[in-house]
Amino acid sequence: SYRFVNTDQKNELKNNDRSIATLEGKNLLLDNANINEKFSGNMWKYQKSKSDYYSKMKLKEKYAKHLGLKMTAQPDNALDNQFGLIRNAEDVRIRDSGYSVHAFNTLISQRIGNHRGLPDTRNKLCRIQKYSEKLPKTSVIICFFNEHYQTLMRSVHSILDRTDMKYLKEIILVDDYSDLDGLHDAVQKSVNELNNRMRKEEEMIETNNIDVESVVDYINDDNVVDKKTTERNKDILSIRLLKTSKREGLIRARLYGAENSVGEVLVFLDSHIEVNIDWLPPMLARLAEGVDKETRFSHRAVTPVIDVINADTFEYTASPLVRGGFNWGLHFKWDNLPKGTLKTDEDFVKPIKSPTMAGGLFAIYREYFNYIGKYDEGMNVWGGENLEISFRIWMCGGSLELIPCSRVGHVFRKRRPYGTGDKEDFMLHNSMRMARVWMDDYVNKVIEHNPSAANLDLGDLTSRHDLRKNLSCKSFKWYLENIYPELETGENEVVKKRIADLNDVEKNKFQPWHSRKRNYTDSYQIRLKNTSLCIQSEKDVKTKGGGLVLGSCIRILNQMWFETSRFELVLGRTLCLDASNNVAPKLSKCHELGGSQEWKHKGSGGSPIYNTAAGMCLGVDRASRGEPLIMVICDNQPTNQWDFIRT
């Protein structure tokens, strides 16, 4: 990726500011991640960075001169420029139907489009690592079922934008028999356009005949179509769209993708990801390190650090270095690294052994994947395959590692949109297939934890048992003693039950990156402009789910709002103002995940109060006592303008 660097200015854009730049009059989202240089003003030049994507590099070097780029940048702090801003009823419809089909904010995702900058979340030392030019070539495999089109396409584009062509053989998209109207055709059309354009760029380079217009179009959007399809050179990256002949579930869909791949290394990714700068070489380098001369593969699987793309706001944030574990319910969980793992600077760059993987994002030699037994074909839809492949790799002589310098963002959702109840059933079935083959007597612990798992019909397991025998794998006891001694074998029943009862948002808190520190930056009453009515809780400050109403302004605890550094509004230092139902704000436990509890305003006289996840503002229907607070379109009506009273 190239960075747009201003040559003559001093203002520094903070990493998380979104900025809009105009390139020859067209809007373009600046790659703010790469703007760590000081800038503003009008003169820009391209700067080459380490991981440029294939021929675009050569092209840009040539055409940048022709363009004489003129760009202006402005910080995107104003409410008007908020990506999620709801402008009309149609926006509300898009957002709400997106949530119900995809369980994330499709309105924002759609507005972000195919390209955007990401903060470089790696440790600084990662920037100076050097990787061999001669690394194995990769087939990236992305399976999807009813994925949101724009989110899927941005996943693909992020790979094209941030991967050096010399490491990439192909991108294989496997449509797991999606039934969303028009999805498959739309993806097919985009894939054709991308392939055509890549061929065309190749041709332009060969003939030294560079078409500046088409490159500018590329930066702005993806509407360059070349009618003439040129013969495909085998060494040129291709993007392929496959489709299963029935709904297979993600496990068999991945097998199908793998069978049809040709790269030396397979990289599996989910369909709602964005890869970060230089994500691939550190993983390939580690895989290549341990290659056996005879088989030409290493006995390893490696995973990137999975950064968080917020499902409500699409904000991209860094995850700390954590590793994979599990509990006796056979649920994957994140664990802190064992004490002492990160002592020296170098430890933040070196591979870290992990007892399990989350499942969706990893790299492995194709021939090792086949050798070690691929996946269990008897697993359906979703779940369980991640622990299965983790145990199998470790027990059969391989290793599983986290690569700190490789970062990929993933949209973490609060629910999975595969129908209600599905998840539990499929996951339990899959997990028990795994447990019966790989966990020896410890399967009893699993059943103790969940008695309903005892008598499931799991289907035929002979081929998996045979696999374990043929590979002469070690015992589960060996795995527990040597790879995951941290697993508590006698969990406290009460705590366990409490965790199981939590909803997904609350479960997130058990992720180690969740910080409970609350830092108050301001406090005030919030008064409706030109009135003497303030926002207060309907009941007290500690009733969860309680609504908000207008009341006469008096200095009582349930009118005192405390603003935090994360832009939360905490009533009486107790509960957070939350817009998660998109209709009326409520008081909820502070989840510290931003989004529905993130509120932006000017901080003084007559300001709207904007919620990042809802894309709407705090308002009322009428200015009267007892009137309930609701979420409204931010249209600057007097009923959604607020004053802040500090003392």
Binding site for ligand LR7 (CB under 6 A): 143-145, 147, 176, 249-250, 253, 270-271, 306, 332, 358-361, 381-383, 385-386, 410, 416, 418
Return the residues of window 267-306 that contact Mn ion according to CB under 5 A. Answer: 270
CB of 498 to ligand LR7, least distance (A): 21
User: Residue 79 Cβ, how far from ligand LR7 at the closest point, in Å?
Assistant: 32
Partner from ligand LR7, Mn ion, none binding residue 104, C-beta < 5-8 Å depending on class:
none
Helix/strand/coil percent split, the chain, to 5 = 30, 25, 45
- In whole angstroms, how close is the CB of 429 to ligand LR7 at the nearest point? 12
Instruction: Report what 361 binds from Mn ion, ligand LR7, none; CB cut-off 5-8 Å by kind.
Output: ligand LR7
Written as six digits, the tokens of 588 are 């909820």
- In whole angstroms, how close is the CB of 418 to ligand LR7 at the nearest point? 6
In contact, 522 and 603? CB cutoff 8 Å? yes
Q: Which residue number, 82 or 139, has a Cβ lying nearer to ligand LR7?
A: 139
Between 380 and 612, whose beta carbon lies closer to ligand LR7? 380
Of the pair 143, 349, the CB lying nearest ligand LR7 is at 143
Residue 147 contact among ligand LR7, Mn ion, none, beta carbon within 5 to 8 Å by kind: ligand LR7
Residue placing its CB nearer to Mn ion in the complex, 373 or 383: 383
Residue (271 or 298) nearer to ligand LR7, CB: 271
Q: How far apart are CA 439 and CA 431, in angstroms?
A: 11
Residue 31 or residue 315: which is nearer to Mn ion going by CB? Answer: 315
CB nearer to Mn ion: give 270 or 568.
270
State how beta strands 520-528 and 316-317 pair.
Answer: unpaired
475 CB neighbour count, 10 Å cutoff: 14
The answer for 64, left when phi > 0, alpha when psi is -120 to 50, beta otherwise, is alpha
Interface with Mn ion in residues 215-274 (CB under 5 A):
270
The interface partner of residue 546, options being ligand LR7, Mn ion, none and the CB cut-off 5 to 8 Å by kind, is: none
**Binder of residue 382, out of Mn ion, ligand LR7, none (CB less than 5 to 8 A by kind):** ligand LR7
Picked from ligand LR7, Mn ion, none, the partner binding residue 578 (CB below 5 to 8 A depending on kind) is none
Q: Which of ligand LR7, Mn ion, none has residue 386 at its interface (CB below 5 to 8 Å by kind)?
A: ligand LR7
CB-wise, 341 or 511, nearer to ligand LR7?
511
Name the phi and psi angles at 29, rounded to 5: -80, 125
Q: Among 529, 535, 561, which residue's Cα sits nearest to residue 640?
A: 529
CA distance 112 to 487: 41
Task: Please report how close the Cβ of residue 54 comes to ligand LR7 at its closest, in angstroms.
Answer: 25
From the list Mn ion, ligand LR7, none, partner contacted by residue 310 (C-beta under 5 to 8 A by kind): none
Minimal distance, residue 387 CB to ligand LR7, in Å: 9
CA distances from 582 to 212, 266, 579 (A): 45, 41, 5
Backbone angles phi, psi at 98, to 5 degrees: -60, -45
Pick one of Mn ion, ligand LR7, none as the site partner of residue 278 (Cβ within 5 to 8 A by kind).
none
Instruction: Give dist(CA 176, CA 143) in Å, integer.
Output: 7
Distinct helix (H) and strand (E) counts, the chain? 16, 29
Nearest CA to 106 among 613, 617, 609? Answer: 613
Nearest to ligand LR7 of 362, 365 (CB atom)? 362
| Rounded Cα–Cα distance for residues 488 and 478 (Å) | 15
Any contact of residue 385 with Mn ion (CB under 5 A)? no
**CA–CA gap between residue 476 and residue 326 (Å, rounded):** 14
Instruction: State in angstroms the smallest separation of the CB of 271 from Mn ion.
Output: 7
State the binding partner of 359 from Mn ion, ligand LR7, none, CB within 5 to 8 A by kind.
Answer: ligand LR7
Residue 500, H or E segment: helix 493-501
Are the CB atoms for 573 and 557 separated by under 8 Å? no
User: Which residues are CB-contacts of 196 (< 8 A; sequence separation ≥ 6)?
Assistant: 225, 226, 229
Kindly state the smallest distance separating residue 246's Cβ from ligand LR7, in Å: 11
Q: Give me the least distance between CB of 409 and Mn ion, in Å please.
A: 11
Which phi and psi angles does 462 have, rounded to 5°? -55, -45
Residue nearest to Mn ion (CB): 270
How far is CA 163 from its chain centroid?
17
Ranges of beta strands (E only) in 146-269 are: 168-175, 238-243, 265-269
* Signed CA dihedral, 54, 15, 102, 150: sign only: negative
Binder of residue 358, out of ligand LR7, Mn ion, none (CB less than 5 to 8 A by kind): ligand LR7
Q: Which partner in ligand LR7, Mn ion, none is near 108 (CB below 5 to 8 A by kind)?
A: none
In sequence order, the β-bridge partners of residue 274 are: 409
The smaller minimum CB distance to Mn ion, of residues 23 and 379, is found at 379
Spatial contact of 560 and 593, defined as CB atoms under 8 Å apart: no
Q: How far is the CB of 336 from Mn ion (least distance, A)?
A: 23
Select 153 or 236, whichever has its Cβ closest to ligand LR7.
Answer: 153
Q: How many residues sit in the footprint of Mn ion (CB under 5 A)?
A: 1
β-bridge mates for residue 112, sequence order: none
Q: How far is the CB of 480 from ligand LR7 (least distance, A)?
A: 21
Q: Which is nearer to ligand LR7, 360 or 585 (CB)?
A: 360
Give the whole-angstrom CA distance, residue 6 versus residue 72. Answer: 9
Q: List the structure tokens of 591.
A: 């989840």
Q: In sequence order, which residues have a C-beta less than 8 Å from that of residue 124 and are 6 or more positions away? A: none
Compare residues 46 and 332 and give the one whose CB is closer to ligand LR7.
332
Name the minimum Å distance from CB 151 to Mn ion. 11
Choose from Mn ion, ligand LR7, none: what does 31 bind? Cβ within 5-8 Å by kind: none
Shortest CB 491 distance to ligand LR7, Å = 20
Strands 265-269 and 138-144: parallel
The contact set with Mn ion (CB under 5 A) reads 270
